[in-house]
Every structure is written in C-alpha cells, then in structure tokens.
Chain A
Amino acid sequence: MTLDGKCPSGPIETAWDRHRFNMKLVNPSNRRKYNVLVVGTGLAGAACAATLGELGFNVQAFCYQDSARRAHSIAAQGGINAAKNYQNDGDSVHRLFYDTVKGGDYRSRERNVHRLAQISVNIIDQAVAQGVPFAREYGGLLDNRSFGGAQVARTFYARGQTGQQLLLGAYSALSRQVHAGTVKLHTRTEMLDLVVIDGRARGIITRNLATGELESWVGDAVVLATGGYGNVFFLSTNAMGCNVTATYKAYKKGALFANPCYTQIHPTCIPVSGGYQSKLTLMSESLRNDGRVWVPKSAADATKDPSTLPEDQRDYYLERRYPSFGNLVPRDVASRNAKTVCDEGRGVGHEVDGQRRAVYLDFRDAIQRVGKSTIEARYGNLFHMYTKITGENPYESPMRIYPAIHYTMGGLWVDYNLMSNIEGLFVLGEANFSDHGANRLGASALMQGLADGYFVAPPTISDYLARVGWGSTVTAEHEGFKAAKGEANERIQKLLSIKGKRPVDSFHRELGNVMWDKCGMSRTKEGLEEALKRIPEIRAEFWENVNVPGENKGVNQSLERAGRVADFLEFGELMCLDALERAESCGGHFREESQTEDGEALRDDVNYCHTAAWEFKGVETAPTLHKEALTFDYVKLTQRSYK
C-alpha cells in the first residue's frame, strides 16, 4: 500500500486556498439528500456536526455521555493559540507554523500544520461571535498570554476554563442545528463498530447505553471525532469514559493507525495517593514559572518533613542540569527527570506499591520574594484545587507533583483532507494523527480540534460527497450491517457469559501498570518486548476470568467498561510494537538507547523521518507497517537543546 497524503503542491502559503478552489461542491438543494454520521461531540465533532447542519446536510451525531456538552474537551485549562499578532510581538502564521513543526520534533506534515496556523485566526473570530467570554483588557479588546515557553503571547484564554467555554460555544452551535432539525442528536449512545461496504465507510453499529439496544445507522460518510487513547494507561488526565473503541474498531476494519506510540506526559499532576486512585488531576504548568522543583539529595531524607531540610540537603535538579531554562524546560524533559530522581529512590510523598513517586514543587522562595498575596493572585485557584484534593496547604508546605499521561498525538492515519485510507471515513481532532508530530505544544489541542471541525472537514466532506453522488441503495438490511451487528451482539453475550472472579477494572489497572512501566515516559527494547509478552497473557485471562454482572438490558456500566477494556487490551500491544519499531527518540517518545551524552532525546532522521502507519492483520497476527516519508521544504531540522 502506498500512502498518499494528497497534499497540494506549489507554495505552502496558498496551498489550502488553491485546494479549496479545486474541490467539488454540492448544490444547496441536493445537500439534504446526504446523510453524514458524526461520532463524538467534543470540539471537533460538535463543530463539524453543527457546520454540516448549517450547510444543509442531514447529520446524525452520537456521544456516549448524557449530553453533548460533557465531552472531555471541556477540561482543557490553559488556552487556544492563534496567530493574530494582537500583541504586536512579532507573531505570524509562519511563526506559529514553524513553532508547531519544531515543537512536534519534525514528525508532522508541513502542509497540514501550515493550514492549521492559517485557520487559527478564523477560530477566534468564530468563537467570539458565538459569545465565548475570552479574557479582555480594560479597553475591551482581547487579552493574550504566553504559554508553554512560547516567545510570543498568542494564547487566548477564559480564566483556567478555556476548553469549557470553547466547547460550550460549539455545543450551542450544535444545539441551534438540533432545533433547526438538520442535526439529530443521540446521547448515551456508543459506537461499537464501523461498517465498510465495497471499500467505503457506509455506517456504524451503536449500543444505546440506556436500553442496551443495538442499532445500525447508514450514512454517505462517517466522521470519527472520538478523542485520544490515554486511558490505555488506566491512570491519566482523561475522563473516565474516554476510550479507543471507535478508532480501534475502524483499524480492525482496515483503517491504518498512525504513530500510536506518540503520547504526551504532563509534568505537573497531583501524584497517586493509593491503589484505589481512579484518575489523575492536572495542575496548570504555569506553576513552574514560580515554583522550584526539588527532591532530597539523600534517599534517607525522603520521608522527612520538607521544611526541616536545609538548603544544602536539597537537590534542585532541573536548575542544576539545565541552568538556562531551569524549572521551565519542556514538558517531556521535566517529566523524564522527575522519573529519574524517583527511580533513584529520592521520590517523596505517599508510598504506593513500595515506591514514592512524587517531587516537590516549592513556592517558599517565590512567596518570600513577591509576597503571599501576589502568589495567591497568580495561582489562587490552583492552590485551592490542590488543597481540596490533598488536604494540604501549599502556601506552607511544598506541593508534590508527578507526571501523568495527558494527550495522545498518534491516531488514525488521514490524508490532507482528513480522510483515512478507507473512502468516506473522516477522522478529526485528537482521534487523528495529523498535526502535532511527536509532541503537541501547549494550547494547540483546542486549536486543532476546532480547525478540523469548523473549517477543514466540512469542505473536504462536501467534496467527497459531491464525487460519490447520492441515491445509494445500501440500507441497514445489507449483509455488511447484519454481520457487524451480529458480531457486536456476540461479543456482548460472550462478555456477559464468562462470570469469572475478577472485576473489569482490575484488568484495566493491570494493563495500565504494564503500559506505564514499559511504554511510558521512557522505553527500552527489553521493556517493550516484555510488555509484548505480558499483554496477551492479561488479555487471555480477561476473556476467561472477568466478571461482568447483569445482562444487556437497561443501564449496565460494567458491560460498557468491559467492552472498552477489551479493546485497550488489544490496542496496548499495537502501541508497544510501534514504540519498539521506532528505535529513535523524538518528542514524547523516548528510547533510552537513543540519547545524547547529556541524556537528551536523540532523533534519527536518516531512518525514522516518517509516519508509521499500521495495518491490522488479526488479533494474534503481527500488523503490517506502512511508512509515509516526511519531507521538510520550509523548516530546517535541528536538534533541540535546553542547556
């Protein structure tokens, strides 16, 4: 299989405009003859469904939550980037493009990223017109801040709730179309399979989470905007329901899965406090602007009250190793260093499973320097959240933090039109692999989700529909739908029939531990090979010994979780395989075998300057690897350095 990204040629600055002109249009009076299925109602899904509805297409939108407003886009705190240059500090479309390609450690497609930077300005206009209450200056104009080490202030924000406000904007646009009758919304409805007929995505199979009913939906195109797969680690900053099922099922139906090993770790999360922990909570990394990161010099001091440790017994390891960037080194560097000091036995805080996995983030010096009231004004809400969760007061004793899985850059392979290798299957937002390369910059996830949903997918989907035409004879009675529905039902019955001894979550936790140990912040050949041996064993025990109580009637949350965990138990293997195959370090993927003398990530552009896209060949059979070469005409490849 040759992977063709279908990127327009010619100058990059005009590529998207030229491409748009070359796309086919659907006559307004014919649009209602087409059905489009949109799965997921986060930023990308809600924006896409609303926009297609406004254009006059018939849209069916699906989400597993009880309301479209609850998708996990809502939890994004920091902000959204846009190349408006309102601060007159030298920002431009080209600079945002350049920063994003570099930040992704040169593992993304130049032309996709350039389009993203171009569209970023339209997103802000759209959101403001919807009534998104961004922060403003006293003159009434929009405020910006610098975020994630960027040298320009291009981030728009709504306090620490930017994701919430943008999602509610997209949800309001979606609600308007529901009212207008162009979008039909199906909440508490989970996609269980993709139906492919004659090489085209023609529909989905869903389960109604309130009644248990399986249903078939026929469409002229299918859009997956189902988010990332961070919950393969069990503990992550994702919502509890986030899962890989929709994209993984599409992979099993022939869609290629690209770069599954690219995951992002966020350095400032509240550490695990016990074996019962269900999720991890992110604290904005702006805390590192004033907090100093340290651990005791000696492992023997790990349990001592930190305030009693004198200065010469503390190791401010980031300041020591990276004198010029200090505590503000990028996310991946800060995370790996925290792991290193904890592996040395110098971690602090609660002991869980025999290990202390936390480092101090200390505001003592900042409070002495600028005063408690200033620190309170800057971080009051974060300190409040920390106190609520831990019961400790960070004004008096240092915070404890540890890295956690936060975002996944990998996803289904798509071309420039956001269409996968299956005709008619479009993949948007975190669910695709396209724009962030091996590492996503802060405040860029919201930008990409909305760019895909409002501005990229609607014209490319229209183009596809115009080319295939309407009036297909495929119905839910087609053999393809009957077979997929039958398989989905069979699997549910099997899960319910095992009645073993272990609850669903215990398998998820076990898988998560393996993934975190062997395929987390740093990875080795030996570790990954061990994981590849261990995961099929856990999977085998799951199918023999899981206990899913109840039946497939009415609400059954155990059954919902069991189906998702079953898919994670296959997907985890694919992730480890991809991490093993990519023997270089890049962005969030750190292979211990590939590092500089200083212990920094070392890329191998000769052998790995490509996207790795995997083709499913069977659960117990190795998938086939396809490579899409990456070329860089506008950005020069360099090695990162933060010394």
Chain B
Amino acid sequence: MKITLNVWRQSSPEAAGSFVKYDVDGVSADMSMLEMLDVLNDRLESKGEAPIAFDHDCREGICGSCGFMINGVAHGPEKEITVCQTHMRSFKDGDELTLEPWRAMAFPVMRDLMVDRSAFDRIIQAGGYVSVRTGSAPEANATPVMKEHADMAFEAAACIGCGACVAACPNAAAMLFTSAKVSHLGLLPQGEPERDKRAIDMVAQMDKEGFGHCSNHGECEAVCPKGISVNFIARMNRDLLKATLRSSR
C-alpha cells in the first residue's frame, strides 16, 4: 500500500510547528501504525534527517506511552485500542492520514507528536493512593470485598493514563482519568477512610493543572482504549459533592 501522511513537525516546545507531507510506499497491512512510522523514520535517518518523535514503549497497549490523533480521532479509527495496536489493514491503499499530537493546554507539545503529560502524575500525587506503609498491611483475606465492587473497581483501575480522554474532550477535561482513580479506590473498603479527602484533593489539582470541566459530550469514553465508562465521572461528582458538604460542616 501507499499511504500519504501529514505529520505535525515541531522541533522544540518553543518552536512553531507545521504539517509536513510524507509519502510512504511499500506499507504492509500487517504493520502496526508505529511500525509504519519506524519504516519512515529509518528512511529519514538514513538521509540524516530528524526522525518523527513519538512516545511509545510496550507496543501492546498497556503502558499508555503512545497516542496521537489520526485524522482528528485520538488513537485512530478502531475502537478500544491504542495507536500501537492499530494496524495498517484499518486503512486502504492511497489513504491520506493526518497525524497530530494531543492538543490541550495542560499537555504542552515537546516535539512532533510527543507531549508532556506530567500533569497526570501530579493529579495522582495529590491523593490517588491508600495511605498504607509497607509492612503495616492486615491479612489479605481479613476484609472481604463484594465481588461486584471488586469487579467495578477493576474496570476503573484499568486506565492506562494515555491522555486520549483529554485530547478528545472539547474542554480538554481530565475528568475521566481523575474519576477512574477516585472510583477505583472509593469502591474498595481499603480506600474508604480517605475517600472524601481524595476526591477533593485530586479535583483541586486537576483544576490547578488547567484541565477543563466535563460538559457531557462523552467523547472521552468513545476514544478510551480501555473502554472506561463516563459513569465514573458521575460517581466522582457525587463523591465530590458529598465530600464538600461534609468538609464544610
């Protein structure tokens, strides 16, 4: 197959970026999107040109490193997968694809398709944990957990922190990301003692980072590679409301 790419090239955080056109021929349907970029980058490197920078690591859809827009859709056209698992058989010979980094004020572009997502780390640092010292844990089976709650907590905990939810949201909100962690821990008895404080602190940090707010578009769920439900946002809003009322009492 022959694919034409319009790729966002930006040499540094300060530099102005622009789209650059590349024709890539000899593309196999069995290649992943990132392997196609590897082939292009090998050609660029052989000519002494700077390869296209993009974050990636595990290439099996679990580390959350990779992600960019393909024709305006975060992680591309296939449902519930990341760009590293998107294969070229999803496209056809002669297709023209526009590749662009996540666009959000809280995710500044570092180079080409690579953005700085450290804001997510700071949201977790604000309260995305159970305060339990190593060695102080009780016997694991001492606290039974309803299977339904454990399963739902797992659904929320499956978040890979890739940032697609922010990129897809018209408000660049990080509500799906934040609510996934608030819900995961809030659903478990282990997370109950800090439930109020966690919701308040994580949402405060989210606001501080410059993410927008949810206005119920649902774009985040539609592009989430792990299919995390927007119901968790509603759940976080309830937790936050209750926590705010309790804390002001």
Contact = CB atoms under 8 A, between A and B. Distances in A.
A389 B57 contact: no
A458 B135 CA distance: 11
Question: What class of interface size applies to chain A in its complex with B?
Answer: 35 or more
Interface in A156-177: 158-159, 161, 164-165, 168, 171-173, 175-176
A388 B111 CA distance: 29
A195 interface: no
A627 interface: no
Contacts of A15: none
Nearest to B15: A554
A305 B238 CA distance: 56
Contacts of A67: 64, 117-118, 120-121, 161
28 contacts: A54-B133, A54-B134, A65-B57, A66-B55, A67-B117, A72-B63, A86-B141, A124-B140, A126-B134, A129-B190, A133-B151, A133-B157, A164-B62, A164-B160, A172-B129, A173-B134, A241-B57, A273-B28, A276-B38, A276-B39, A278-B34, A279-B60, A281-B59, A281-B60, A501-B46, A502-B46, A506-B42, A547-B45
B140 A140 contact: no
B191 interface: yes
A134 interface: yes
B118 A549 contact: no
Interface SS of chain B: helix, strand, loop or mixed? loop
A51 interface: yes
A23 interface: no
Contact of B157 (A126, A168, A350, A454): A168
A187 B117 CA distance: 11
Nearest to A242: B57
A71 B64 CA distance: 10
Contact of A549 (B39, B45, B116): B45
A555 interface: yes
Contacts of A136: 145, 147, 150-151
Interface string B138-153: 1111011111001101
B184 A129 contact: no
Contacts of B160: 164
A612 interface: no
Given A67-B118, A505-B42, A84 B154 contact: no
A390 interface: yes
B46 A158 contact: no
B147 A555 contact: no
A498 to B, nearest CB: 11
B31 A274 contact: yes
Nearest to A135: B150
B45 A503 contact: yes
A140 B28 contact: no
B179 interface: no
Given A69-B161, A129-B136, A168-B157, 20 more contacts: A69-B124, A75-B60, A122-B135, A126-B132, A136-B151, A175-B124, A176-B129, A176-B131, A179-B126, A185-B121, A240-B59, A274-B31, A278-B59, A350-B30, A389-B87, A549-B50, A554-B11, A555-B110, A555-B114, A558-B50
A579 interface: no
A504 interface: yes
A279 B65 CA distance: 15
A63 to B, nearest CB: 11
A310 interface: no
A454 B134 contact: yes
Given A125-B140, A140-B146, A74 B59 contact: no
A139 B141 CA distance: 11
A121 B141 CA distance: 11
Interface string B103-119: 00000001100101110
A313 interface: no
Interface in A573-622: none
A274 B133 CA distance: 48
Contacts of B34: 278
Contacts of A69: 64, 121, 124, 161
Interface in B21-40: 28-32, 34-36, 38-39
Contacts of A506: 42
A138 B125 CA distance: 33
B88 to A, nearest CB: 10
Given A72-B57, A549-B45, A133 B50 contact: no
Contacts of B126: 179
B144 A74 contact: no
A274 B35 CA distance: 10
A508 to B, nearest CB: 11
Interface string B46-59: 10111101011111
Contacts of B150: 133-136, 140
A291 B53 CA distance: 41
A190 to B, nearest CB: 13
B81 interface: yes
A128 B140 contact: yes
Contacts of B124: 69, 171-172, 175
Contacts of B157: 131, 133, 158, 165, 168
B188 interface: yes
B125 A66 contact: no
A54 B117 CA distance: 26
A72 B58 contact: yes
Interface string B147-176: 100110110011011000000000000000
A159 B157 CA distance: 12
Contacts of B60: 75, 279, 281-282
A390 B30 contact: yes
Nearest to A562: B45
Given A74-B62, A276-B38, A173 B129 contact: yes
B76 interface: no
Nearest to B89: A391
Contact of B134 (A65, A277, A458): A458
